[in-house]
């Protein structure tokens, strides 16, 4: 049985998936309004100016972990009568959000105490951002399934 990793990280598909995820991140940040949106836009612009290609490298490095986190949901989808993974993820949004955040949570445990403290303060915000982005994430995944 094919895994989500088999589907999305296949040699002929990986670069397109990475590119799509980078576009997704940029689109989600650009669409944010208000003070939070200004802060996100400014932060991303500064990061990209200081470290060109940083998003691409981060996605290349972290994508397998995020895909693995969604694997149980993908297998449940394949065992279901649903035909569209994006729709399935929409029905299981809370589980998908928690699976994706678990990757970040695990990564932060390896970080410095200062980063851990900052993340703890922003964790709830991160949850709402992932929830808001989940429909676009689901559509992006569905578009690249074989």
pLDDT (tens digit per residue) in 59-81: 999 999 999 999 999 999 999 99
Q: Chain-wide mean pLDDT for the chain?
A: 92
DSSP helix/strand/coil, 59: helix
Q: Which of 103, 98, 31 is nearest to 61 (CA)?
A: 103
> pTM for the complete prediction?
0.87
Sign of CA dihedral 58, 59, 64, 65: positive
Does the structure show a pLDDT above 90 at 36?
no
Residue 107 pLDDT > 80: yes
Nearest by Cα to 97 from 47, 133, 72: 133
Round to whole Å and give the CA distance between 56 and 54: 6
CB 136 within 8 A of CB 96: no
Q: How many structural domains compose the chain?
A: 1
pLDDT score of 19: 97
Q: How far is C-alpha 51 from the geometric centre of its chain's CA atoms?
A: 20
Owning domain of residue 28: 4-143
pLDDT average, residue stretch 83-94: 94
Is the pLDDT confidence value at 5 over 90?
yes
- DSSP code of 80? S
- Give the model's confidence band at 21: pLDDT under 50 very low, under 70 low, under 90 confident, else very high: very high
Degrees, nearest 5: CA angle 8-47-21: 15
Mean pLDDT within 3-16: 95
pLDDT at residue number 67:
97
């Amino acid at each position: 049985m094919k895994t989500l990793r088999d589907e999305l990280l296949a040699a002929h598909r990986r670069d397109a998936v990475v590119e799509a995820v980078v576009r997704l991140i940029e689109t989600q940040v650009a669409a944010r309004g208000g003070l939070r949106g200004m802060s996100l836009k400014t932060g991303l612009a500064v990061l990209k100016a200081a470290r060109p290609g940083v998003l691409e490298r981060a996605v290349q490095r972290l994508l397998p972990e995020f895909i693995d986190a969604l694997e149980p949901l993908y297998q449940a989808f394949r065992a279901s009568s649903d035909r569209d993974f994006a729709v399935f993820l929409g029905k299981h949004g809370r589980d998908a959000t928690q699976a994706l955040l678990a990757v970040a949570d695990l990564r932060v445990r390896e970080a410095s105490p200062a980063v851990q403290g900052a993340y703890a303060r922003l964790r709830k915000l991160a949850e709402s951002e992932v929830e808001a982005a989940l429909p676009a994430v689901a559509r992006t995944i569905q578009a690249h399934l074989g």
